[in-house]
Amino acid sequence: MAKSLEVPSVFQRAEVLGIVESLACAGVVAALLLLSLQLVALWAGLRNQAAGAAMVRVEDVPGFIFPARVALLALVALSFVPVMLALRWANRRALRCGRDLESVQLALRESHHRIQNNLQSVIAMLELQAVAAPGVEERTALRVAQSRLRAAGVLHEHLCQSVESGQVVIVRHIRAVIDAALVALGRAADTRVVVKLPQSLALAPDRAFWLGAIINELVTNSAKHAVHGDDRLAIGVWIGRDARGLMLKYGDNGGRPGATSPSPKRLGYQGNGRKLMGAFVKQLRGCMGNNFNNPSQHSVRIVFPN
């Protein structure tokens, strides 16, 4: 897991280093001041006594503490100097690091903003084309493409927010993807969603992206083909640990009781949906369980490494 590094914490560290450096400076100045006072006292004492006495011992000089203490003070003053220099160096490095981090985060925010704006422009162009499209199928295809782009925008948003921690919290991520897909497909109000997965489950951003893309495809397929008319859609997502890593189970209420053959439009039977799902699962380095064959129940099972 990438280590979290935040601009404020770097600057706080620099502030602490600055305070310690100031204390070290004060120590050097105090020691040098004391040393100077001692030398002045020694010089003045020797000068006064030289007039009246032939032999002068330094210990007898008034105001002079002791030669050993002078040496000690000099040593203390000198020992502060490398500490001070090391602290100054660390402080400057922390400040430089903070500034670099700040500019990287600024650039990330700006590029994120541009990506979202560009996605919006593409969606706008697709919608303008959809309005002018002659047939229902073309219009539907163009709107599904918009919904995929919107899902990509939601995924991107989540990934950007998780850059600092290096991990994406999956429960929030999946909820956001499902909500975005249902709103885009006009099924937000009449869909019951059940999501069951460990609150603590987190994945690296690239893996979270593909997992989100899979969920988006599954929800899109459910919203388009599971129920018809005024029937209420219900979808369930479950992720749990498996011997091979993690297992995603997805199901909806789109089964057809009593049916003898599965609906040809359900995911996994044919068309682009199958190809896309296959590609997304491959990106996740997982495998998809082949349990599409029950026409009265629609569920998908995907196992992927943690």
Partner 1 sequence: MNAILVIEDEVIIQLFMEQTLLRAGYTVDCCDSPREVLQVPDFNRYQAIFCDIGLGDREMDGIDLFMRIRETCARPFIFVTGSSDLGTARRLNGVHHPYRLLRKPVVEADILQALGELGLV
- Where do contacts with partner 1 occur on this chain (CB under 8 A)? 109, 112-117, 119-125, 127-128, 131, 143, 146-147, 149-150, 153, 157, 160-161, 183-186, 188
Token pair listed for 30:
């105090």
Nearest distance from residue 35's CB to partner 1, in Å? 52
Give the whole-angstrom CA distance, residue 197 versus residue 184: 24
Q: Which is nearer to partner 1, 126 or 284 (CB)?
A: 126
Q: Which is nearer to partner 1, 5 or 20 (CB)?
A: 5
DSSP 269: S
Q: Which is nearer to partner 1, 184 or 211 (CB)?
A: 184
Nearest distance from residue 152's CB to partner 1, in Å? 8
Q: Which is nearer to partner 1, 113 or 196 (CB)?
A: 113
Give the whole-angstrom CA distance, residue 171 versus residue 295: 29
Nearest distance from residue 122's CB to partner 1, in Å? 8
Give the whole-angstrom CA distance, residue 236 versus residue 267: 15
**Burial class of residue 51, CB neighbours in 10 A (0-12, 13-18, 19+):** exposed
Q: Helix, strand or coil for residue 139?
A: helix
Q: Which is nearer to partner 1, 160 or 193 (CB)?
A: 160
Nearest distance from residue 201's CB to partner 1, in Å? 22
Q: Which is nearer to partner 1, 42 or 130 (CB)?
A: 130
Nearest distance from residue 6's CB to partner 1, in Å? 13
Report the candidate in 188, 185, 194, 271 with the shortest Cα–Cα distance to residue 237.
Answer: 194
Q: Helix, strand or coil for residue 259?
A: coil
Kind of pairing, strands 298-304 and 245-252? antiparallel
Q: Which is nearer to partner 1, 67 or 186 (CB)?
A: 186
Nearest distance from residue 183's CB to partner 1, in Å? 5
Report the candidate in 104, 113, 82 with the shortest Cα–Cα distance to residue 10.
Answer: 104
Give the whole-angstrom CA distance, residue 4 versus residue 163: 9
Give the whole-angstrom CA distance, residue 83 versus residue 114: 46
Which residues on adjacent β-strands are paired with residue 169?
202
Alpha helices, H only, the chain: 7-52, 67-132, 136-161, 170-184, 205-225, 271-283
Q: Which is nearer to partner 1, 72 or 188 (CB)?
A: 188
**Residue 283 near residue 210 (C-beta atoms within 8 A):** yes
Nearest distance from residue 236's CB to partner 1, in Å? 23
Nearest distance from residue 173's CB to partner 1, in Å? 14
CA dihedral 129, 151, 287, 246 (to 10 degrees): -170
